[in-house]
Amino acid sequence: MKRTIIDPSTLELEEKVVTIKRVTKVVKGGRNMRFTALVVVGDRNGHVGVGLGKATEIPEAIRKGKEDATKKLVTVAIDRNGSITHDYIGKYGSAQVLMRKAPEGTGIIAGGPARAVVELAGIRNIRAKSQGSNNKQNVVLATVEGLKQLKTPEEVARRRGKSVSEIFA
């Protein structure tokens, strides 16, 4: 699989905080409180990334999460209807996200964590169902993993040594 390097400075990225958790570490002197922020960034035009930021204050955790997400941007294959090119099941840990191609006018039918990812990726028509674990972090990562694996008809045709019209025949 080819990896294309995406320059985040050329993109207008939006961010969406999926979840903020307070985590506690018990030490000899008492409890250390920290925050973890799961952040999704995207340009609503085929690029999306997910990052995790950890800090003692919430704004700092969000900033770190956004920075991490911009480093992990992936390109998503979107068809002319604003949907994905084919059905796929994204897997991460015990979380699975079933993503199905949808016709124009369907909208985004997806649960909270998966919805944030597909909206910021620029997908306008999709049906997605979270299966297995409902851990927000794993659902988001499963969605990104699935979107990353999508292939365009041109890619499939090139790999098989055929024309695009032969693929659809």
State whether 70 and 111 are in the same domain: no
Which pLDDT score, from 0 to 100, does residue 12 have? 85
Q: Distance between CA 158 and CA 68 in Å, rounded? A: 33
Q: Quick check: 12 and 70 in contact, CB under 8 A?
A: no
**Residue 48 covered by a domain:** yes
Provide the pLDDT for residue 15: 93
Q: For residue 164, what pLDDT is reported?
A: 84
Give the pLDDT of residue 4: 60
Which stretches in the chain have pLDDT values below 70? 1-5, 8
Asked if the structure places residue 57 within a domain, the reply is yes
What are the angstrom distances between the C-alpha of 87 and each of 35, 96, 156, 159, 167?
A: 36, 13, 14, 19, 16
pLDDT of residue 128: 94
Q: Look up residue 54 and give its two tokens.
A: 């950890």
CATH of the domain at 35: 3.30.160.20
Domain tally for the chain?
2
Residue 165 inside a domain? The answer is no
Q: Which of 33, 56, 74 is the last residue of a domain?
A: 74
Give residue 35's domain range.
8-74
Look at residue 2 in the predicted model and tell me its pLDDT.
Answer: 47
Same-domain pairing of 124 and 68: no
